Structure 1
Amino acid sequence: MQRLKSLAIGLVLVLSTLGWAEATETRNWDEITAKARGQTVYFNAWAGDAQTNDFITWIGTEAFRRYGVKVEQVKLKDTSEAVTRVVAEKTAGRDSGGTVDLIWINGPNFLAMRKQDLLFGPFATDLPNWRYVDTTTKRSNLIDFTVMVDGFESPWRMAQFVFIYDSTRTRLDSLPKSMAALEPWAKAHPGRLTHPNVRNFLGATFLKQALYELTPDPGVLQQPATDANFPEVTAPLWAWYDRLKPHLWRGGTDFPASGPVQEQLLGDDEIDLALSFNPAAAAVASRNGRLPDSARVYVLDNGTIGNTSFVAIPYNAAHKEGAMVVANLLLDPEVQARAQDPKTMGNFTVLDLAKLTHDQRQLFERPLDAAGLPTNAELGVPLLEPHPSWMTRIVDAWEKRYVK
């Protein structure tokens, strides 16, 4: 997952002044795969999740078996490390033979690279497996934190904000189905709700989700936050949070550091609701023994924020052909289904299941041993991420208001 500190990259850029250069890929797929054979793709990816690292290793095995392409994961603590490396190479005049072939990227890191003409493309819409991508209900496959992707990134996994609960302790029909309803629910269940510290991406998303619902015109969130509009747009959020905070776990004086810490509170019966940006969180945590088999997730009636993780190819990548082969492989229906299985990663698909054959759709059926996994239909249509500047300002404002 992209880390909150990466949001600092590129926020000063003005979207209306973007003047991006393009170098359209014109070769046919047979030419690309022939050139890719024998290449080693250096896949720069955040390495904070063991299951994802294992999946990338498996992708390397498949890429070599199918196409003769090797994959080496360059393990990052933060995506900005790879961005910085490409910037340094451009500054040094290294416009070919770069050390970064493929990057797991989204949000402000993508914006920063696009603004500086650091990406190869457009290429994504020319990949053979692009025909399966959901471009209708999963708009984040085309719009990355308010920035049009325009074929310079290829999607590979979805994330969506969900609530986790224990179905043996709490009935689904008793839980709040909107952020507005969360306040009276918390008042009736004092201490049974919390959220991660807002410096954590998940904690910030909790506030963004509330802002989406509570502000009179959520469309404004697709534009940058400014000194002029921020106070008025966020006023309903702070009024709501002022009422909510006294009823949070430990009276709202302490917050778990991360999602996993919050999950542990749920497992220890200290709270009744936990938050996640992974719809498979309950199924994965149950499989790993962190939560009971009765753990489930749900989304709010009017939808929850979702985003897409992409892969992109730097402008000076040494092995562009191999990188395109890997990007295409990540969109293969069988690969996407494997990624969605909680035994592997539990990351929901970027594909439109209606575009698949009957046999391919069957691959996405909920496994019998994963009762906590929601169906793709149950997740509904995800809401687009607000412009990154809203998160940055909300986090700063929350700390000024509530951190003593």
Structure 2
Amino acid sequence: MKNTKSRTKQMLLASTLAVVSWSSALQAEDAPGMFRSEFLKGNLGWEDVTAKARDEGTVNFYYWGGSDIINLWVDQVATPALAAEGVKLNPVRITATKDTVDVVIAELAAGRGEEQGSVDLVWVNGENFYSLKQQNALWGAFANRLPNSVNFEWDESDPRSLLNLRDFGVETGFQEMPWSGEQYVCSVNRAHVSAENTPATFAQLKTYLEANPGKFTYVKPPHYLGNTFVQSVLYAHNPDGTGAAPYQQSFEEMGGEELARLMKPGIEYLKSIEPLLLGGASGKPRYAENSGELDNLFLNSEVHFNCKFGVFGNHNGLITGAYPEQAEEMIFPAGNMIKNKNYLAVPLNSPHPAAALVAINYFSSAEAQASKLKTAGMPVGLDLWRLSEEETAEVAASAPPHYGVTQQQLDDNIAPDTNASLVDVIEATWLAVIERKDDKPLADIVAQVSGELNN
């Protein structure tokens, strides 16, 4: 009898402790950071994530809002799709992603920790991702844990996984999910430039400008479009003939003297074409401040070429009237057309992290990506070989046309982006040499600007 009573007491005690433990776990799950901790440990199923997302109700999505057709897709396609999953998408349209990154970092510095920030989800790549990672301001390794992660190649032994695992040469660590893929593509106005006179190399561009001075310019660094043009010049003028390869190293690995040596021929080229650029004859070359200004110059025939990121930029320019009617894509610079992916990241202090994950999972679906491609001309970020035949066909049917080139030609001339730790140094060097006309030895300039950036 005593043993029976003893066993009954033990069972009651165990049951009570289990209820207390279960109740405490439920309370703990709502504590700031607990959801993140349990998800990253693999202790939560997707149904737990979606349930919490519905409770959170909202996701604050910060993204560059300068494209009307992307905004249209967000409002008319993504917003109702997420509403059907119980999440209200709040699009926060920004002009500079760096400003949002600065907000996140400032909030964390002010003590607004996990689930206490204002940004749930941000569209990033390159320097902005690097800044968040350097400041330990990212939520964690979520990308390969979402249901739609199957649409991406994560196997590092497969070279096709490179753009998923590295962002501007920096390891992503699964802390961002690819959203789109872009390539630096130039367009030419066939009303002024024949196919025979279309440059494919920087030497040919200079020859064209000698005969047609003032009919080219590029976006001014530190704008990312200007940085990209400069980087492609540096690749093409690499004195060792190894193109982009050494620029995949970090600044710490390469060192300032080696970077200056590699940059020197490219910087000399940029100096040599200044008098040939738009306004160059007056001694004051005019660099476009942004993509919109360059579009206007191109539309009005003030320049004959328009170089910027956008695999389908020519198509989008034609249908929106931003490009001249005879605009076509061109292969330039041959072999050095920089391609990268852009991504969706969750800040460490995201106030609605589960809703952010649900939104990213939707954005990573073949259906959403095909719809975004068809509506906004925004290339898919997922990897086609990971999709079903039906999904691949849906994406192919959604792709806008090319003009003057084929997708295969664009693919055949891809170059990787520059390591994020080099980008600031290169842009600061351009500002010193090209804008401020600093004539010190290039190695001294690189040493100076890199020292200032590190202080």
How big is each residue's C-alpha offset from its partner over 1:88-110, in whole Å with a ceiling of 9 and x where there is no partner?
44344443332322122222322
**Partner-residue secondary structure (3-state), 1:42:** strand
Deviates more, 1:23-32 or 1:155-164: 23-32
C-alpha deviation, 1:329, in angstroms: 0.9
Residues 292 and 357 of structure 1: is their aligned pair in 2 closer, same or farther, counting only changes over 3 Å?
A: farther
User: What 5-or-longer segments of structure 2 have no aligned partner?
Assistant: 1-36, 438-455
Q: Does 1:244 align with 2:244?
A: no
Residue equivalent to 2:143: 124
Q: 2:89 aligns with which of 68, 71, 74?
A: 71
Q: Is the 8 Å Cα contact of residues 279 and 297 (structure 1) preserved in structure 2? A: no
Q: Is the 8 Å Cα contact of residues 183 and 240 (structure 1) preserved in structure 2? A: no
Q: 2:53 aligns with which of 36, 45, 59?
A: 36
Deviates more, 1:175-184 or 1:282-291: 175-184
Q: Does 1:201 align with 2:230?
A: no
How big is each residue's C-alpha offset from its partner over 1:140-161, in whole Å with a ceiling of 9 and x where there is no partner?
3321122100110011112211
Aligned AA (1:365)? A
Q: Does 1:270 align with 2:299?
A: no
C-alpha deviation, 1:310, in angstroms: 1.1
The 1-side partners of 2:153 and 2:220 are apart by 33
Q: 2:368 aligns with which of 322, 329, 335?
A: 335
TM-score of the superposed pair, with normalisation by structure 2:
0.75
C-alpha deviation, 1:199, in angstroms: 3.4
Residues 250 and 22 of structure 1: is their aligned pair in 2 closer, same or farther, counting only changes over 3 Å?
A: farther
Q: Considering fraction of residues, name the structure with more helix.
A: 2
The 1-side partners of 2:70 and 2:373 are apart by 11
Aligned AA (2:50)? T
Residue equivalent to 1:15: none
The 2-side partners of 1:376 and 1:157 are apart by 16
The equivalences for 1:229-308 within 5 A come to: 229-251=258-280, 253-300=285-332, 301-308=334-341
Q: 2:245 aligns with which of 215, 219, 223?
A: 219
C-alpha deviation, 1:238, in angstroms: 2.2
C-alpha deviation, 1:168, in angstroms: 4.9
Larger radius of gyration: 2
The 2-side partners of 1:168 and 1:234 are apart by 35
Q: Does 1:24 align with 2:40?
A: yes
Q: Is the 8 Å Cα contact of residues 40 and 72 (structure 1) preserved in structure 2? A: yes
Residues 338 and 296 of structure 1: is their aligned pair in 2 closer, same or farther, counting only changes over 3 Å?
A: farther
How big is each residue's C-alpha offset from its partner over 1:224-270, in whole Å with a ceiling of 9 and x where there is no partner?
16432232111110232243333323336222222222222222223
Q: Is the 8 Å Cα contact of residues 165 and 173 (structure 2) preserved in structure 1? A: yes
The 2-side partners of 1:46 and 1:195 are apart by 21
The 2-side partners of 1:373 and 1:28 are apart by 48
Q: Is the 8 Å Cα contact of residues 371 and 398 (structure 2) preserved in structure 1? A: no
How big is each residue's C-alpha offset from its partner over 1:23-78, in whole Å with a ceiling of 9 and x where there is no partner?
7251222332233224211112233333333333331211112x211111233343
Residue equivalent to 1:10: none
The equivalences for 1:69-218 within 5 A come to: 69-98=87-116, 99-134=118-153, 136-137=159-160, 139-172=162-195, 174-215=197-238, 216=240, 217=242, 218=244
C-alpha deviation, 1:287, in angstroms: 0.8
Percent identity of the aligned residues? 26
Q: Does 1:360 align with 2:398?
A: no
How big is each residue's C-alpha offset from its partner over 1:306-337, in whole Å with a ceiling of 9 and x where there is no partner?
22221111223232221111111111112112
Residue equivalent to 1:5: none
Q: 2:65 aligns with which of 47, 60, 66?
A: 47
The equivalences for 1:311-390 within 5 A come to: 311-341=344-374, 344-365=375-396, 370=401, 372=403, 376-380=407-411, 382-390=414-422
The 2-side partners of 1:197 and 1:85 are apart by 25
The 2-side partners of 1:204 and 1:296 are apart by 23
Residues 90 and 296 of structure 1: is their aligned pair in 2 closer, same or farther, counting only changes over 3 Å?
A: same
Q: Is the 8 Å Cα contact of residues 373 and 398 (structure 2) preserved in structure 1? A: no
Residues 205 and 79 of structure 1: is their aligned pair in 2 closer, same or farther, counting only changes over 3 Å?
A: same
TM-score of the superposed pair, with normalisation by structure 1:
0.84
C-alpha deviation, 1:400, in angstroms: 3.3
Aligned residues: 381
Residues 112 and 196 of structure 1: is their aligned pair in 2 closer, same or farther, counting only changes over 3 Å?
A: closer
Residues 353 and 167 of structure 1: is their aligned pair in 2 closer, same or farther, counting only changes over 3 Å?
A: farther
**Partner-residue secondary structure (3-state), 1:306:** strand
